[in-house]
Amino acid sequence: MKFRDIPGHEEEKTRLRELVDTGRIPHALLLEGPAGAGKFALARAYVQYLHCENRQDGDSCGVCPACRQHESFNHADTIFSFPVIKRGSGKSTVSEDYLEEFRRFITESPFMDFDKWLEALDSPAGQPQMYVEEGSELQRRLNFRTRSSEYKAVLMWLPERLHPSTANKMLKLIEEPYPDTVFVLTSDKSTEILPTIYSRTQRIFVRRYTDTEVETYLCQRGVDGPAAAEIARLAEGSLTAAEKRCGAEDNSARMLDLFADLMRKGFKRDLPALRKWANDMSARGREQQVRFVDYCSRLLRENLMLHTSAGRYVTTLSPEEAQFSTRFHPFVNERNVIALFDAMNDARRDILANGNSKMVFFDLAIKILMQIRK
């Protein structure tokens, strides 16, 4: 990640560059500011700049061995530390065990969409943290000599999610520094960092993006002008929120197709087709499955309102959903609505409880078949 790969933030980039250029490299640096403002991307660019063997025009060169290792997330002297979810009980859990998932995540979401990280951890409702073993693991790894660079760097994402005993270990590492080690922390909620850690860091505040910056970013990614302006206004300075809104628009079209497909096949009582539908659904990630069930509940609710108000209710439906619902709403009525909502709630609960998703969705499909002609 080079500085020029990150939109805007000229002031922040200048400050980071100057730390390296003047040799006043803080032992522990904290980039704090709202989520979606590009703090982790800046931290990566800073560490790459620090390691680059051929800095040019205030940026890393992108082609030296150190830069190439950074670009492929394989820099020998850079350690990533980030919150994870315990796998099974009693097992030790450290960032290193999730490195592959994390590399994929930062490639796909360089502005660090936390929901996407939950999805990658396969834990839509989880509370990831840095567990107690993370502190000892960091200490162990910092005891090795650096391999190719002057500095070893620890890039820590979300220090507010350090388990209290890990935080104390971290504090020791920061208080009694190894001379060749730099910590770069990036936090969305710096008020939740252990105050003793917070007070020992040198801090740079990374401001939220302006609506114009978000709009420019979206336009460069092919979103057309008026839509980009509207999304930028709603994203409140967060690039991840803006990306999510762009994705949500295509996503809801796909969700509508899946919903319509389920209802049609249920109405036709086409069991083989319903079984295939359930198998296709089970191949999706758990978070997407939960979102789909929530989407179904919303569409059913809106259709019930249309039905009971004889079409007078003003819906929150998109034009495509509204078009589908003009034909669909007579099928959601007082005879089946409770059973339909129950079916969705059961499916949601079973998905979150790690139920066999082929069975969960086939069960849901059968309930639709039984109810939709009532």
Least distance in Å: CB of 72 to Zn ion? 13
Report the alpha-carbon distance of residue 106 to residue 112 in Å, rounded: 7
Of 21 and 192, which CB lies nearer to Zn ion in the complex structure?
A: 21
Q: Which positions touch Zn ion (CB under 5 A)?
A: 52, 60-61, 64, 67
Least distance in Å: CB of 149 to Zn ion? 11
Least distance in Å: CB of 55 to Zn ion? 7
Of 21 and 294, which CB lies nearer to Zn ion in the complex structure?
A: 21
CA distances, 194 to each of 62, 166, 170, 179, 207 (Å): 36, 11, 10, 23, 22
Least distance in Å: CB of 282 to Zn ion? 45
Of 45 and 337, which CB lies nearer to Zn ion in the complex structure?
A: 45
DSSP 80-131: EE--B---SSS----GGGGHHHHHHHHHH-TT--HHHHHHHTT-TT---BB-
Report the alpha-carbon distance of residue 48 to residue 61 in Å, rounded: 9
Helix (H, G, I), strand (E, B) or coil at 273: helix
Angle at the Cα of 364 (from 331 to 323), degrees rounded to 5? Answer: 35
Least distance in Å: CB of 46 to Zn ion? 13
Locate 105 and state its tokens: 């995540």
Least distance in Å: CB of 38 to Zn ion? 21
Of 60 and 78, which CB lies nearer to Zn ion in the complex structure?
A: 60
Helix (H, G, I), strand (E, B) or coil at 29: strand
Report the alpha-carbon distance of residue 331 to residue 306 in Å, rounded: 11
